[in-house]
Structure 1
């Protein structure tokens, strides 16, 4: 029985010991579970009881914390700080001095609370927040110190009966006047800045009393005299603004300078300083009636083509240059401070040219893409016509996709334009020179020349008409005649860039050149053999001067044939295309003149 009792007694003691051991372990385990659960469920939130002023940040996401801190900034900026100066009451509105909180830094600092250090440190922080008052963050803020100094200076001027006077320099109608400094009672600026700095960060907005004391002025008589001397130096005479490039100048009299120069004391610096500025209004008024004489005309951009070397360059355009009234004051200051009282006249761009550099560049003309030359005899009347139509065509611009007509461009050839009568093929007869068609005779040679330049440029042929009789100075089948209003020479610019026609001539030849950018096409010409020959067609004409029974051959005539003309185009990628034109030369009539009686058999019988 004693043994059994001892065993029972030992079992009870062991049970108590086990219970005493397990209770704190269990409690610790429970606390650990709560800590771990808190961390797992609040991974994107601010931990614990973290506050900024009266704003509770704990439990907020970083984005929500930023929003709450911005609201705090708005409230603090709009909440005035009561201030007293020598019995006078003022209010400092933080927004007036640029008060702002660094919300991003505060939110980031709040997010790391309880997450720094090792796990034991984090657990200790959590326990203090679990049982203590939490963490109160300092508010990082900033403000404009110069604006605060200006507010304090204004309080001093309005709140004190006898503030220190720093001294003043003024200009009236060009005369420099001074007021020297005097001592007085003023605000202790350094202490005032310290107190107001602390008050801006205090959300409770407690009243701030700024201390005053007997103060010496921050400037001396010597400082005032130096500022006055500077003003007099700036007004010491006329200033000249000039443009060496344009050979223009503007002389501004000292009297105008005197109405423009102003002196302002800057009390935000220590010690205060004087700022010299120029009122633009008197300067602009003086410039206004002289502005036109100082303004240059705009200069058009030009596309320059050297027809000898075929080099294409762009001469840049330039806007009109006019005096810049906005920069006038700064340039006057520069001149007045220089030893020679002179500086450059400021200019700005005015009216744009009719043709700007960008517009010329947009044409995309890069070089020669087609040319052709045909010869002729010197000094004939037809050469006059060739030169006139070449001059009228020179420089013609055809934009991408446009269709261009030679007749529309040069108009009808008339004697008023200087064209003269010259031989022409009229209805199968080489005639000169009674028909109106003869005015401008020979222009078909220029038409043929231009047509071939168009041909080798790879441009689209819309309409052309070869002669009825092949003329040996022209390529067979690859030529064109011109009349009014038809036949005409018409082509379309089928490239992505503008093309420009340039012409030149000598006493014995005429040349047409096409400039543009056809993408690097290579063009070759081909010609078939002659075929479909036709005989000479005879035409009889009445002429009473021919004796009855006789005939007079005035034109021997020529037979005809057909040919095919080919244009072979090779593209940069190696593709090739072939275009074909067919033309039949009908030839000239054989013209025989007879007496009119021979057409109706009314001629008298010949005498025996």
Structure 2
């Protein structure tokens, strides 16, 4: 190689070195020139080239602050909800965003990139899948609407066919997936809830109407064990229900419980339920009341006997039933052998009477009455009460589903669950599982109440005593009392916190035929703590945090909305006392009331 070539090569290398050094100096600072960090919503860029990492961190932190003030719009079926990014579980990670930025590099390729346009970095985020799912679920609670099943009800003695109407339910999983995938591309998310078809059609309701009309076309002479009971038209309308058989067919059903309500002694003189052995407190000491058999007519037998009669006319409207001897579930011998010495706890709740509520509360209470738990055994309300169906003795009524009122079997059972939960609470027994209502119901103690739903939402507690316990229920048409008998072990104190994070309810009109009016209740958080003591020393402290979402104020604008008034269209009990609550077992801090009574459950 000639000297000239060597000199040229050396000069070229030197030029490249100088060029590299110049580029390296031009890139400048800790962060290369023209380095871009995109803003949280990708609407603008932050040029951080030439800055120190501390300066970049301040800029990104400022963007975090702006993001905290921003709102995302979630539009579901035309209803608009504004939420913070944090409400949706989306958080900008300032530290990770800065750490991903490459420092000034000696790599010639990186130098060229920095000089000709630099590198652009998206912000780094963390996601909380559970928070996002909960946020979308809370919105769905306020937009979902159960379908209106076709039905036949009685307004007084006049049968009315209820037209079926489709409902809707937001696909929560799909909505979460959409937000997660494209949240930084738009601040507006629009979702249309899929339609839910009713099971009982309008045609089915219309086909049941002729039988309903004929049922109240005249009186019926019912013979019970040879004794005549005259059923007036109003009695028939009161005791007859049309229930979904599970396949979309309306079937007529008569209930012995409703017969008791409407006929009183004319019915209970011949039809009496068995009496479980029970305890009552006399002079502070439990006294055993002996069991007794009953004379019963099942709802199936009653319906089978009366169906031909209500389908007939004139003198053919007659029916006959025979009662059967029914033994009690808890005999005197069983209760007497438990070693019960005292009342461990007792709790009473009151409720505004409605026929469906009375029937369901009485039925659930009867099924619970006499329950015996040996040491270590668990009380499960769903297991003991079973599915709330017509075949199991329950009536249709107003329940809470997805944060809205709807018509279904079992309305009122949550009253039983709440009463039972509080009896267990004040006994000191091990509290296993419960779920509060989605929004606050003023006749229940805030943060110390329970809802149930078949089959998954249950209320459970465990007998962690060394001796058996027995559950005792008693009721009127407006109150329910549940007591636990056994050998008392603990003292219980309750600390009830103040309402916090109070949120206003929304107000809107609903023109759907499935609308059920709601008054509106504010949402809030509350913590209630149970302190359990043994011989004066604390052995358990159980804090329960409850979040009540706001209950929207809904005005029904559709004149066809039969349930526009939250009172069911077939009022079977006229007296409606103001709901109150007996809460004597403990002294608590009473929060300021912020909600109006909600006539449900």
Give the TM-score, by structure 2 length.
Answer: 0.37
Answer 1 or 2: which has greater helix percent. Answer: 1
Larger RCO of the pair (alpha carbons < 8 Å, separation 6+): 2
Give the TM-score, by structure 1 length.
Answer: 0.37
Greater C-alpha Rg: 1
